[in-house]
């Protein structure tokens, strides 16, 4: 048995809306350069774990073409059919078991150029009540949630626009982000194309081509990779019902439960005080206050004040998505893993322009399924 697991290496591509190379070349180059940075070879990795999805990849057994491209030819290789942070959780458990000392986790997507995201996501909806009638999709599910939050807590369209601009500005300072809108104003967001009101085009995350690779290791093996390990001290992973009608989209009880479990494991009693920053997997800007409050980072319903007082900005009391979050790049399946990489970069004080001063503890979140059906939470420390 291993006692503690660390993030010992990570790298993401510069995400784009139209990758000049195929996914096979993209992930091969990424992993090869990560190995080079760390001075290791593929023989230093005990198990390789993909995060990919047959629906968003448009083919079954979606990792089958890519296995040798991450160095896992004739090695222990497996796949998680969910976001990359779920794959990282799998890697974490494999290392805890003591059967493996090191794991490489990779997520990738061609969501920017190869398919229309809402169209393909629709195939993963409930096939009896939801899919055949075509009355609901990932966008409209989140719009229902946004609408509920805004009405209950008097969170206005302008508040939502300010929050969007905050993230766009952070994304603008993130060298990996695909979406760069340095001059975007609150007015621009308020006037952007309406899709599923209150959701407008500007609120939608930047579905992109890109990949992220993270290496996890046992405490014993960590020294070989880095002298700056980032420890995974708490994890939570909760799923709500598949059928959207059985869920309370606003309460997000499963996310609360996942966060509480991770905090308890990490010995965190007061997340507002003990956590220095949060990286959240939001597919739409409107999800940010809902998720952050469910995770105990802000008082329930305080979204309006948080935006007004800049509490979630880089210099605020609880910076949320200092990287810009998925509004800057959302290569599906890699997105949660990118949150882990971004948080690790912050804790290692390597974050560049978006640095959160004195950050020692971060919370990382990822979701999968319509309206965040599945939520994964990690607490990481340096």
Only one of the segments 91-99, 117-125, 248-256, 307-315 lies at the binding site for other proteins (rule: CB under 8 A); that segment is 117-125
Strand partners, 368: 374
Nearer to other proteins, 73 or 201 (CB): 73
Q: Are the beta carbons of 160 and 285 closer than 8 angstroms?
A: yes
Q: How far is the CB of 31 from other proteins (least distance, A)?
A: 8
Q: Is 348 in the site for other proteins (CB under 8 A)?
A: no
Burial of 118 (0-12, 13-18, 19+ CB in 10 A): middle
Site for other proteins (CB under 8 A): which residue of 32, 180, 219, 224? 32
Nearer to other proteins, 194 or 243 (CB): 243
Name the token pair of 364: 């990382």
The answer to whether 138 touches 286, Cβ cutoff 8 Å, is no
Asked if 27 and 211 count as a contact pair (C-beta separation under 8 A), the reply is: yes
Q: Are strands 77-80 and 47-51 parallel, antiparallel or unpaired?
A: parallel
Task: Give the C-alpha separation, 20 to 31, whole Å.
Answer: 17
Residue with tokens 């909760």: 238
* Minimum CB distance to other proteins, residue 97 (Å): 26
Residues from 126 through 165 that contact other proteins (CB under 8 A):
127-128, 131-132
Q: Please, which residue, 110 or 363, has the CB nearer to other proteins? A: 110
Binding mask 36-75 for other proteins (x = CB under 8 A): -----xx---------------xx--------xx-x-xx-
Contacts with other proteins by CB under 8 A: the residue count is: 30
Options 7-15, 81-89, 108-116, 288-296: segment touching other proteins (CB under 8 A): 108-116
Report the SS3 class of residue 365: strand
Nearest to 345 by CA among 11, 1, 86: 11
Per CB under 8 A, 115 contacts other proteins: yes
Question: 194-196 and 199-200 as β-strands: parallel, antiparallel, unpaired?
Answer: antiparallel
Cβ proximity to other proteins, 53 vs 344, nearer residue: 53
**Contact status: 243 vs other proteins (CB under 8 A):** no
Q: How far is the CB of 133 from other proteins (least distance, A)?
A: 11
The DSSP line for 83-107 is -HHHHHHHHHHHHHTTS-SEEEEEE
Token digits for 195? Answer: 């899709």
In sequence order, what DSSP letters do the residues of 138-207 get, joined into one string? Answer: HHHHHHHHHHHHHHHHT--HHHHHHHHHHHHHHHHT-TT-S---TT--HHHHHTSPEEETTEEGGGB--B
From 89-97, 107-115, 200-208, 304-312, span contacting other proteins (CB under 8 A) = 107-115
Binding mask 270-289 for other proteins (x = CB under 8 A): --------------------
Determine the interface stretch with other proteins among 125-133, 196-204, 277-285, 370-378 (rule: CB under 8 A). Answer: 125-133
22 near other proteins (CB under 8 A):
yes
For position 33 contacting other proteins by CB under 8 A, the verdict is no
Q: Given phi > 0 = left and psi -120 to 50 = alpha, else beta, which region is 241? A: beta
- Using CB under 8 A, which of 4, 96, 113, 257 touches other proteins? 113
Q: Tell me the closest approach of the beta carbon of residue 119 to other proteins, in angstroms.
A: 5
With contacts defined by CB under 8 A, name the span among 122-130, 135-143, 238-246, 308-316 that binds other proteins.
122-130
Sort strands 102-110 and 209-218 into parallel, antiparallel or unpaired: antiparallel
Tell which one of 76, 81, 114, 274 touches other proteins (CB under 8 A): 114
Cα atoms in the Cβ-side hemisphere of radius 13 Å centred on 98 = 3
Binding other proteins (rule: CB under 8 A), the pick from 123, 194, 197, 273 is 123
Contact set with other proteins (CB under 8 A): 19, 21-25, 28, 32, 35, 41-42, 58-59, 68-69, 71, 73-74, 110, 113-116, 119-120, 123, 127-128, 131-132
């Amino acid at each position: 048995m291993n006692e503690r697991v660390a993030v010992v290496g990570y790298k993401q591509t510069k995400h784009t809306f139209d990758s000049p190379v195929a996914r096979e070349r993209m992930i091969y180059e990424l992993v090869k350069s990560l190995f080079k940075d760390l001075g290791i070879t593929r023989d230093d990795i005990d198990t390789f774990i993909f995060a990919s999805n047959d629906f968003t990849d448009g083919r079954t057994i979606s990792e089958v073409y890519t296995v040798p491209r991450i160095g896992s030819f004739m090695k222990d290789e497996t796949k998680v059919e969910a976001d990359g942070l779920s794959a990282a959780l799998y890697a974490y458990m494999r290392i805890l078991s003591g059967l493996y000392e090191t794991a490489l986790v990779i997520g990738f997507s061609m969501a920017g150029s190869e398919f229309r995201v809402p169209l393909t996501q629709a195939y993963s909806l409930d096939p009896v009540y939801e899919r055949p009638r075509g009355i609901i999709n990932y966008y409209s599910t989140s719009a229902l949630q946004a609408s509920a939050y805004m009405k209950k807590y008097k969170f206005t369209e302008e508040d939502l626009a300010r929050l969007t601009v905050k993230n766009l500005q952070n994304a603008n300072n993130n060298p990996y982000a695909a979406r760069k809108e340095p001059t975007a104003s609150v007015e621009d967001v308020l006037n952007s194309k309406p899709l599923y009101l209150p959701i407008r085009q500007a609120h939608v995350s930047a579905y992109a081509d890109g990949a992220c690779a993270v290496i996890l290791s046992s405490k014993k093996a960590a020294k070989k990779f880095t002298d700056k390990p980032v420890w995974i001290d708490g994890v939570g992973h909760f799923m709500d019902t598949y059928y959207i009608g059985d869920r309370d989209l606003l309460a997000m009880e499963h996310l609360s439960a996942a966060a509480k479990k991770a905090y308890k494991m990490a010995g965190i009693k007061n997340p507002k005080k003990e956590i220095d920053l949060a990286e959240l997997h939001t597919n739409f800007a409107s999800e940010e206050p809902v998720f952050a409050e469910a995770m105990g980072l802000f008082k329930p319903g305080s979204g309006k004040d948080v935006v007004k007082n800049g509490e979630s900005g880089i210099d605020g009391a609880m910076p949320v998505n200092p990287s810009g979050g998925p509004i800057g790049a959302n290569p599906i399946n890699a997105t949660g893993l990118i949150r882990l990489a971004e948080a690790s970069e912050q804790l290692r004080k390597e974050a560049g322009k978006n640095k959160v001063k004195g950050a020692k503890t971060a919370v990382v979140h990822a979701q999968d399924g319509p309206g965040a059906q599945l939520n994964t939470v990690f607490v990481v420390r340096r």
